[in-house]
Chains A and B, each alone.
Chain A
Amino acid sequence: MTTEHEEASLLSALLDGELEGPERVRLQKHLSFCSTCAIELESLRKVKMVLAKAPKKSMPMEWIQAFPQALTAERNSQKNSSRASVFSQNWLIPALVAAAVSFAVSFWIFQSQSSFPLRHSLSLNSVSTPVSPLNPSSSQTQDNTP
């Protein structure tokens, strides 16, 4: 096994030209007498070769030409979604309802508080100047006095 001889990943590093200095020399020396590692290196080289020779896909050019338009469309959709998202917030409608209710309640309280002293003063006036059917208006008697 390679792992018993050398750190296995050094073989891949050697294959990729990523091993330098004493490590490279030491591994090459090891490979000269270790057939297990040499065979392992060969199989790794084959895997690398298969991948390197595998067919490649090209980027479709028409999409690149249409990229600016696609970008504009994407931005517009982002703008619309951000606008829509403000109205689609779950908290917005309950918050508006709560605000409306609290406004209505505070308005009602204000109205009732402001109208109470008026009614109160009216009732006080009526008490201070009672109109009794048995007693004719005092103002008249007062007026008649010399």
Chain B
Amino acid sequence: MIERKEELLDPKRFQDISEESFRQAEFVVLLKKNGDKVYNFAWRLAGNEQDAWDLFQETLMKAYSHFESYDKSRPFDSWLFKILQNVYLDERRRDSRRTVASLDAPSPISGKPWEEILAGTDLNPLDRFTKEENVDMVQKALAGLPPLYRSAVILCDMEGLSYDAIAEVMDCPLGTVRSRVHQARLLLKKAFEDLSDTFHSGKQLQ
């Protein structure tokens, strides 16, 4: 009994509790500043809110458990982006039900191989989009990209990261980032074109 009392009153215990609370508060402050960007990245990667939510929560749990390793001189959002990207890719690898798109696999948008789509030169498919239409189109088009292309183009065009920052998040050379962003844009251009055709032909039928 005496030992238990001593344990309870051990000052080290209170020190641990206060350190933990301080750590939590620090994490929450950083999260409030940067969370929107990271959540948006999760949403765009996952393609729907439920998966985005799961991905985001798992990322935060992982980030918090490795918070000691975060270098405070570097941007917190890039650090979270990197963790999220890794969690996302791990999930994709684990989940055998989801098919990971590769350049050899047929594109889910048009059914053609990616190589064929990349070689296409059709222009200005986006002129036919209205503001409302492009909301859904963007998500559908992004969902059809191979995961690494998707990450690169989201980080570049939606989150406004530099190639240097993307290279750090994706853990790859600068040239690879440039290539992934470019290939993603070519695929998106083609995807917008196909989705736009489907949408407008559907409208005409109605």
Nearest-Cβ distance from residue A117 to partner chain B, whole angstroms: 49
Q: Which of B27, B56, B156, B179 contacts A9 (CB 8 A)?
A: B179
Q: What are the interface flags for B43-68 relative to A under an 8 Å C-beta threshold, 1 for contact and 0 otherwise?
A: 10000010010001100110010000
B158 on the interface (CB 8 Å rule)?
Answer: yes
| Chain A residues within 8 Å of B163, by CB | 13, 16, 18
CA distance A3 to B44 in the complex (A): 30
Q: With CB as the reference atom, state the residue of chain A lying closest to B123.
A: A43
A71 B52 Cβ-Cβ under 8 A: no
| Chain A residues within 8 Å of B124, by CB | 42-43, 46
B121 A18 Cβ-Cβ under 8 A: no
Q: Which of B129, B158, B192 contacts A52 (CB 8 A)?
A: B158
A67 on the interface (CB 8 Å rule)?
Answer: yes
Q: With CB as the reference atom, state the residue of chain B lying closest to A70.
A: B57
Q: What are the interface flags for A7-45 relative to B under an 8 Å C-beta threshold, 1 for contact and 0 otherwise?
A: 011011100101000000000000000000001101110
B189 A43 Cβ-Cβ under 8 A: yes
* Given A16-B163, A47-B188, A47-B189, A68 and B24 contact (CB-CB distance below 8 Å): yes
B162 on the interface (CB 8 Å rule)?
Answer: yes
Q: Which of B61, B121, B126, B154 contacts A47 (CB 8 A)?
A: B126
B61 A12 Cβ-Cβ under 8 A: no
Q: With CB as the reference atom, state the residue of chain B lying closest to A1.
A: B121
Q: With CB as the reference atom, state the residue of chain A lying closest to B158.
A: A51
Interface of B is mostly: helix
A11 B182 Cβ-Cβ under 8 A: yes
Nearest-Cβ distance from residue A135 to partner chain B, whole angstroms: 75
Q: Chain A interface: which of B32-40, B89-97, B103-111?
A: B32-40
B182 A48 Cβ-Cβ under 8 A: no
B181 on the interface (CB 8 Å rule)?
Answer: yes
Nearest-Cβ distance from residue B29 to partner chain A, whole angstroms: 10
Q: With CB as the reference atom, state the residue of chain B lying closest to A61.
A: B32
A9 B39 Cβ-Cβ under 8 A: no
Nearest-Cβ distance from residue A101 to partner chain B, whole angstroms: 38
| Chain A residues within 8 Å of B129, by CB | 50
Nearest-Cβ distance from residue B162 to partner chain A, whole angstroms: 7
A57 on the interface (CB 8 Å rule)?
Answer: yes
CA distance A99 to B27 in the complex (A): 49
| Chain B residues within 8 Å of A11, by CB | 182
Q: Which of B28, B36, B127, B157 contacts A48 (CB 8 A)?
A: B157
Taking A16-B163, A56-B158 as known contacts, 10 extra A-B pairs with beta carbons closer than 8 A to each other, sorted by chain A number, are A1-B121, A13-B178, A18-B163, A18-B178, A43-B126, A44-B185, A50-B126, A50-B134, A57-B49, A64-B31
What are 12 pairs between A and B in contact, CB < 8 Å? A12-B178, A16-B181, A18-B178, A43-B123, A44-B185, A46-B124, A46-B126, A46-B127, A52-B157, A54-B138, A57-B49, A71-B24
Q: Which A residues are within 8 Å of any B CB, using their own CB? A: 1, 8-9, 11-13, 16, 18, 39-40, 42-44, 46-48, 50-60, 63-64, 67-68, 70-71, 74
8 A-B pairs closest in CB distance: A59-B39, A51-B157, A12-B182, A9-B182, A59-B35, A54-B138, A57-B43, A46-B126
